[in-house]
Chains A and B, each alone.
Chain A
Amino acid sequence: MNLTIALARLLIFPGLLFAVPTAWFFLWVERKAVALMQQRIGPPFMQPFFDFIKLLGKTTPARSGVSGLLMKAWPLLAVSAAAGAVGLLPVLPLSGGFQGDLVLLLALMELPSICIIAAGFSSRSIFGEIGSAREAVLTVSYNVVFLLAVVSIAVSQHTFRLEALAQLPASPLRWLGVLAILVCLPAKLHINPFSLPNAEQEIYSGPMIEYAGPELAMWELSHGLEWVAAAGLVATLAVPHFAAGWIDSLLFVSLSFGIVLLLSVLAAATARLAIDTTARFYWRCALMFAGLAIASTLLMRLRA
């Protein structure tokens, strides 16, 4: 992949120019779906965009004892990382990619979480610090399952290239992996029942407490981009491309949309769990998935 194509993918499609409106759209879908389930009207279609613009127009008051540069840097880093992750997704068939781009995608998807942890501690608010500590515990818990699932899919299909993964037919282990990734997504996206780091009623939204104006807008955007990247990753792994051009892309987008709806339903139907219950849940998932993955590998060996 040469530099021009890489830049085009990052900035135009499926990078920023495609990803940002999609992020807003997904944020709207989530809010609207939850609202409809709660018998509310919900926000108008353009609301996430309006929110973003409105926040951009505000000025942030100076905070004493806090490094302003760091506070500005974390959300920007989170947005760049999430946009980069979306840029790597094989939305269009035959879009290129390189060996190992799956690893880069995983790293980029992890960066926003790390930024949130750092931002909470940089804010020097007790609520931010508790939120960051929770985010750290949460990250360690769900990532065991998440990484295990992604890596086992890649290893079982002998490639770390997204494009190739998208084209290979699905195996039972792959479906198991997709299921495990889906279980991790609510924690990754901080929605119920795992909305612990940003719990308003407990710790005033945790790491976000000291953020306002354009910086908060960036966090919102990075959250939306994370939705796109996460839903996109599942869509890539769940539906193999069959090289029919735009149909693949359409399938990709509609599946992502379906995943957002599914997660919204889950968020609306559950209460928030406590951190120890969450950690226990994910470690149990990890154990279960590891057992199943080993069993499935052994079975495949035996068959071969």
Chain B
Amino acid sequence: MSYKIPMGPYHPALEEPYKLDMICDGETVSDAKLHIGFNFRGIEHLAETRNYIQVIALMERVCGICSNIHTLTLCQAMEKLTGIEPPLRALYIRVVMAELERLHSHVLWAGIAAKLMGFKTMFMTCFALREKVMDVLQAISGNRVNYSMNRIGGVNRDIEDPLALLSMVEELEREMVHTIIPIFTTSTTATLRCAGIGILTNEKAISCGVVGPTARASGVPQDLRRAAPYAAYSEMEFDVPVEKAGDVRARLLVRALEIMQSCRILRQALTKMPSGEFNTGDGKIVFSTGTATSRVEAPRGEVVYSVSWKENSRNPARVHVRTPTFQNMPAIRWMVIGARLADTPLIQASIDPCYSCTDR
């Protein structure tokens, strides 16, 4: 007997509204269709009505998890249009913020994945740890969600004593290594739920054009921090973890290893941070006519901003955003076909979807 079962737009497994219509035979999914657009807020249009200072605050609100990445990408694009070069210290601070955000996003994802496996104790542990990452973010920026760190030509706030943050980062790393990573890699019930499900083969990953950890878990070694370094990433030493299995467990492992690499980058950025100015000051900003694009490796994958400007205008002519979830979500269909119904919440979550980014 085949029947259609909707997951969403409001579902306990989803952080945000979207809908996955699944055709099932018994407990096996035979096909799926994805519907998005439940969280459309018209932010791209709104951006055209805001000036170059307001638009940064606006784009920060595209996403509640990777808010820093959006302003970073936008500011990089606007810096190309204005010809302003941020000072080196600002680039290091941007790396620190981006990596802390990656930590917090990955830990949050690990918590959600645990919840979807019915592993609520793990969910609580992950969220307690995420609080600590947010404490570090708050210590730097004064904010826990929308950090307001980026501006054209640098950052808004300095990290006055980078070495003082090292102990916090080391504590985070210790907890990751001692609690979260071992539970996910050794717990029998967790492994049983993750291994061999939601497989995205290497060929399918390339043909769907998936990005970020989803691609790296299917054996596609792409990472913009390595391939097209921005901020101060060219001066950092780190590995790009790649797994070949392409299942949910591989995606989990890739993220777990990325957490370790993030801690490694953080340590380098904090110890090597050069002295000097952290922005170019409050001088007049002049935009030239044209379109600039900027790409950044967000926690979920590649974020692209395309910003168009007309000379002498205070507002952008067009701000276009392409988020990693937009690239990754078509792959969900191929992942859930043939899967057990019980695994579909976990499979759809394994790409770490962010539909408020995608819908904007």
Residues in chain A within 8 A of chain B (CB atoms): 34, 37-40, 126-127, 130, 133, 192-193, 195-196, 199-204, 268-277
B interface secondary structure, majority: helix
In the assembled complex, the Cα of A274 lies from the Cα of B195 at a distance in Å of: 12
Interface positions, chain B 102-146, Cβ under 8 Å from A, are 114-122, 124-125, 128
The contact of A271 among B119, B125, B340, B341, by CB within 8 Å, is B119
The contact of B121 among A37, A196, A274, A275, by CB within 8 Å, is A37
Q: Report the minimum CB–CB distance from B342 to chain A (whole Å).
A: 5
In the assembled complex, the Cα of A142 lies from the Cα of B343 at a distance in Å of: 22
B189 in contact (CB, < 8 A): yes
Total inter-chain residue pairs, C-beta < 8 Å: 77
Determine the chain A residues whose CB is within 8 A of the CB of B117 once the complex forms.
271-272
Is there an interface contact between B124 and A200, defined as CB atoms closer than 8 Å? no
B168 in contact (CB, < 8 A): no
Determine the chain A residues whose CB is within 8 A of the CB of B114 once the complex forms.
271
Greatest chain B CB density within 10 A among A127, A202, A269 is at A202
Is there an interface contact between A193 and B189, defined as CB atoms closer than 8 Å? yes
Is there an interface contact between B345 and A201, defined as CB atoms closer than 8 Å? yes
27 sampled A-B residue pairs with Cβ under 8 A: A37-B121, A38-B124, A39-B124, A130-B5, A133-B27, A193-B118, A201-B12, A201-B13, A201-B115, A201-B118, A201-B345, A202-B13, A202-B345, A204-B11, A204-B12, A268-B120, A268-B121, A271-B192, A272-B119, A273-B189, A273-B193, A274-B340, A275-B27, A275-B340, A275-B342, A276-B27, A277-B192
Residues in chain B within 8 A of chain A (CB atoms): 3, 5, 11-13, 27, 114-122, 124-125, 128, 187, 189-190, 192-193, 340-345
Determine the chain A residues whose CB is within 8 A of the CB of B187 once the complex forms.
270-271
In the assembled complex, the Cα of A216 lies from the Cα of B105 at a distance in Å of: 37
The contact of B342 among A37, A202, A270, by CB within 8 Å, is A202
Is there an interface contact between B27 and A271, defined as CB atoms closer than 8 Å? no
Q: Report the minimum CB–CB distance from A187 to chain B (whole Å).
A: 14
Is there an interface contact between B124 and A274, defined as CB atoms closer than 8 Å? no
Is there an interface contact between A38 and B120, defined as CB atoms closer than 8 Å? yes
In the assembled complex, the Cα of A269 lies from the Cα of B125 at a distance in Å of: 12
In the assembled complex, the Cα of A195 lies from the Cα of B128 at a distance in Å of: 25
Among residues of A, the one whose C-beta sits closest to the C-beta of B194 is A271
Q: Which 5 A-B pairs have the closest CB atoms?
A: A272-B118, A271-B119, A271-B117, A271-B189, A38-B124
In the assembled complex, the Cα of A7 lies from the Cα of B171 at a distance in Å of: 62
The contact of A273 among B11, B27, B121, B192, by CB within 8 Å, is B192
Greatest chain B CB density within 10 A among A133, A196, A199, A271 is at A271
Among residues of B, the one whose C-beta sits closest to the C-beta of A205 is B12
Is there an interface contact between A40 and B124, defined as CB atoms closer than 8 Å? yes
Q: Report the minimum CB–CB distance from A87 to chain B (whole Å).
A: 33
